[in-house]
Structure 1
Amino acid sequence: MPKMEIAINLVFATFFISVGGALHRSSSDQQQRLQELDTFIQTLMTCESRPIVGLTVSVVKDGQTIFAKGYGQRDLQTGQAVDNTTLFGVGSISKSFTSALLAAILGEREDVSWDTVLTDILGPDFRFKDEFRTKEATLRDLLAHKTGLESLGLAIDTGLDIDRAELARRIRYFRQAFPFRTRWHYNNFMYTLAGHVAEKLAGKPYETLLRERLLQPLGMRDTVYLADVVEEGGLNFAQTYWTHNQTGPFVPYNPENRRPVRLHLPAGGVVSNALDMARYMNFHLSGGMDAAGRLVVPEDTLRQTHTADFIMPVYSERVGPDWPVGADMLHGYGLGWMSGYYRGHRRIYHSGLVTGFTSLLSLFPAVRGGVFTSVNGVRGQSKDVHNVIHHQISDILIGKDHWLNTTTACSYPQPWWTRPTANDPVMPETSDEFPRDKRDYEGVYGNRAAGTMTISLNATDGKLYFRLGLIGHGVLMATDHLNVLKASFEGPLTGSTVLVDVKVQNGLVFSLSFRSKPPDPDLLFERNLKLTDPDTTNPKWDGCSNTSGAIHTVLSSRGISIVFILILVMFL
Structure 2
Amino acid sequence: MKRVAVLSALVVAALALLIAPRPPALSPATTGDAALAQQVRRAAGDAGYQGLSVALIENGRVRHAGVGDTGGPDPRPVGPGTAYELGSITKTMTGMLLADLGLSPDTPVRDLLPAVPFSDPAVGSATLAELSSHRAGVPSVRTTPAGFLRSYLYVFGGADPYAAAGPQQALADAAAVSASGRGKVSYSNLGVSLLGLALAEHARTDYETLLRDRLLRPLGMTSTVVLHPGEPLPAGHAHGRSQYGQPMDPWRDHGHAGAGGAVWSTSHDIARLVQAVMAGTAPGADAAKPRFPAGEHRRIGYGWFTTAYGDRQITWHNGATGGHSTYAGFDPASGRGVVVLGNTSKDVDDLGRRLLGVTPPDGGDGPPIRELLFALTFPFIGLGLLYSAFRNPALDRVSAVSRVLWAALFLWLGHRAGAWGPVPPFAWALGAATLAAATAATLTRWPTLPLASRPPAWHTWLSPAVPAVLLGAFGAFLIL
When normalised by structure 1's length, the TM-score is 0.53
Q: What's 1:69 paired with? A: 65
Residue pair 1:160, 1:263 contacting (<8 A) in 2 also = no
| 1:139 and 2:128 correspond | yes
The whole-number CA distance in structure 2 between the counterparts of 1:141 and 1:93 is 18
| Cα distance, 1:375–1:219 mapped onto 2, change above 3 Å | same
What SS does the corresponding residue of 2:181 show, helix, strand or coil? coil
The whole-number CA distance in structure 1 between the counterparts of 2:67 and 2:164 is 36
Residue pair 1:356, 1:377 contacting (<8 A) in 2 also = yes
Alignment of 1:20-169 (within 5 A): 36-44=35-43, 47-48=45-46, 50-65=47-62, 67-75=63-71, 77-106=73-102, 112-123=103-114, 125-134=115-124, 136-152=125-141, 155=147, 158-159=161-162, 163-165=166-168, 167-169=170-172
The whole-number CA distance in structure 2 between the counterparts of 1:234 and 1:120 is 36
What SS does the corresponding residue of 1:158 show, helix, strand or coil? coil
Q: CA deviation at 1:96?
A: 0.8
Q: What's 1:263 paired with? A: 255
What SS does the corresponding residue of 1:80 show, helix, strand or coil? coil
| Cα distance, 1:331–1:488 mapped onto 2, change above 3 Å | farther
Residue pair 2:290, 2:300 contacting (<8 A) in 1 also = yes
What SS does the corresponding residue of 1:55 show, helix, strand or coil? strand
Q: CA deviation at 1:424?
A: 5.5
What SS does the corresponding residue of 2:218 show, helix, strand or coil? coil
Residue pair 2:86, 2:319 contacting (<8 A) in 1 also = yes
The whole-number CA distance in structure 2 between the counterparts of 1:133 and 1:419 is 31
Q: CA deviation at 1:313?
A: 4.2
Q: What's 1:312 paired with? A: 294
Give, as a single letter, the amino acid of the residue that structure 2 aligns with 1:283.
Answer: A
The whole-number CA distance in structure 2 between the counterparts of 1:87 and 1:116 is 35
Give, as a single letter, the amino acid of the residue that structure 2 aligns with 1:264.
Answer: H
| 1:302 and 2:285 correspond | yes
> What are structure 1's unaligned runs of at least 5 residues?
1-33, 107-111, 290-296, 315-329, 396-401, 404-411, 434-458, 466-473, 477-486, 495-572
Residue pair 2:278, 2:332 contacting (<8 A) in 1 also = yes
What SS does the corresponding residue of 1:363 show, helix, strand or coil? strand
Q: CA deviation at 1:284?
A: 0.7
What SS does the corresponding residue of 2:255 show, helix, strand or coil? coil
Q: What's 2:352 paired with? A: 390
Q: CA deviation at 1:114?
A: 1.1
Alignment of 1:278-293 (within 5 A): 278-289=271-282
The whole-number CA distance in structure 2 between the counterparts of 1:164 and 1:158 is 16
| Cα distance, 1:417–1:202 mapped onto 2, change above 3 Å | closer
Q: CA deviation at 1:153?
A: 6.3
Q: What's 2:238 paired with? A: 238
> What are structure 2's unaligned runs of at least 5 residues?
1-32, 152-159, 382-397, 400-461
Alignment of 1:463-474 (within 5 A): 463=466
The whole-number CA distance in structure 1 between the counterparts of 2:74 and 2:142 is 34
Q: Give the number of the structure whose residues are more often helix, by fraction.
A: 2
Residue pair 2:37, 2:66 contacting (<8 A) in 1 also = no
Residue pair 2:292, 2:301 contacting (<8 A) in 1 also = yes
Q: What's 1:15 paired with? A: none
Q: CA deviation at 1:251?
A: 3.2
- Alignment deviations for residues 513-535 of structure 1 (CA, whole Å, 9 cap, x no partner): xxxxxxxxxxxxxxxxxxxxxxx
- Alignment deviations for residues 93-131 of structure 1 (CA, whole Å, 9 cap, x no partner): 01111111232222xxxxx311112222222x4454334
Give, as a single letter, the amino acid of the residue that structure 2 aligns with 1:253.
Answer: M
Give, as a single letter, the amino acid of the residue that structure 1 aligns with 2:312.
Answer: H
May I ask how many residue pairs the two structures share in their alignment? Answer: 351
Q: CA deviation at 1:279?
A: 0.9
The whole-number CA distance in structure 2 between the counterparts of 1:160 and 1:35 is 40
Alignment of 1:493-504 (within 5 A): none
The whole-number CA distance in structure 1 between the counterparts of 2:98 and 2:87 is 18
Residue pair 1:133, 1:180 contacting (<8 A) in 2 also = no
| Cα distance, 1:236–1:270 mapped onto 2, change above 3 Å | same
Give me the CA root mean square deviation: 4.0
| Cα distance, 1:417–1:163 mapped onto 2, change above 3 Å | closer
Give, as a single letter, the amino acid of the residue that structure 2 aligns with 1:252.
Answer: P
| Cα distance, 1:475–1:103 mapped onto 2, change above 3 Å | farther
- Alignment deviations for residues 232-266 of structure 1 (CA, whole Å, 9 cap, x no partner): x77121111125x5xxxx33223xx422x222111
The whole-number CA distance in structure 2 between the counterparts of 1:153 and 1:493 is 29
Q: CA deviation at 1:341?
A: 2.0
Q: What's 2:409 paired with? A: none
Give, as a single letter, the amino acid of the residue that structure 2 aligns with 1:53.
Answer: Q
- Alignment deviations for residues 148-202 of structure 1 (CA, whole Å, 9 cap, x no partner): 23323664853356542453354232034x3322x32211111111111111111
The whole-number CA distance in structure 1 between the counterparts of 2:122 and 2:76 is 54
Give, as a single letter, the amino acid of the residue that structure 2 aligns with 1:365.
Answer: P
When normalised by structure 2's length, the TM-score is 0.63
Q: What's 1:334 paired with? A: 301
Give, as a single letter, the amino acid of the residue that structure 2 aligns with 1:180.
Answer: R
Residue pair 1:37, 1:393 contacting (<8 A) in 2 also = no
Give, as a single letter, the amino acid of the residue that structure 1 aligns with 2:37.
Answer: D
| 1:209 and 2:215 correspond | no
Residue pair 1:198, 1:206 contacting (<8 A) in 2 also = yes
Q: What's 1:195 paired with? A: 196
What SS does the corresponding residue of 1:74 show, helix, strand or coil? coil
| Cα distance, 1:122–1:57 mapped onto 2, change above 3 Å | same
The whole-number CA distance in structure 2 between the counterparts of 1:235 and 1:306 is 32
- Alignment deviations for residues 198-232 of structure 1 (CA, whole Å, 9 cap, x no partner): 1111111111111121111111112223546966x
**Which of 466, 480, 491 is the matching residue for 2:477?**
491
The whole-number CA distance in structure 2 between the counterparts of 1:420 and 1:161 is 31
With CA pairs under 8 Å and 6+ residues apart, which has the higher RCO, 1 or 2? 2
Residue pair 1:105, 1:201 contacting (<8 A) in 2 also = no
What SS does the corresponding residue of 2:280 show, helix, strand or coil? coil
The whole-number CA distance in structure 2 between the counterparts of 1:284 and 1:119 is 30
Percent of residue pairs identical: 24
Residue pair 1:89, 1:226 contacting (<8 A) in 2 also = no
The whole-number CA distance in structure 1 between the counterparts of 2:169 and 2:42 is 49
The whole-number CA distance in structure 1 between the counterparts of 2:43 and 2:162 is 35
| Cα distance, 1:372–1:492 mapped onto 2, change above 3 Å | farther
Residue pair 1:306, 1:337 contacting (<8 A) in 2 also = yes
Residue pair 1:92, 1:353 contacting (<8 A) in 2 also = yes
The whole-number CA distance in structure 2 between the counterparts of 1:221 and 1:464 is 49
The whole-number CA distance in structure 2 between the counterparts of 1:340 and 1:493 is 44
Give, as a single letter, the amino acid of the residue that structure 2 aligns with 1:81.
Answer: P
The whole-number CA distance in structure 1 between the counterparts of 2:77 and 2:230 is 19
Give, as a single letter, the amino acid of the residue that structure 1 aligns with 2:306.
Answer: S
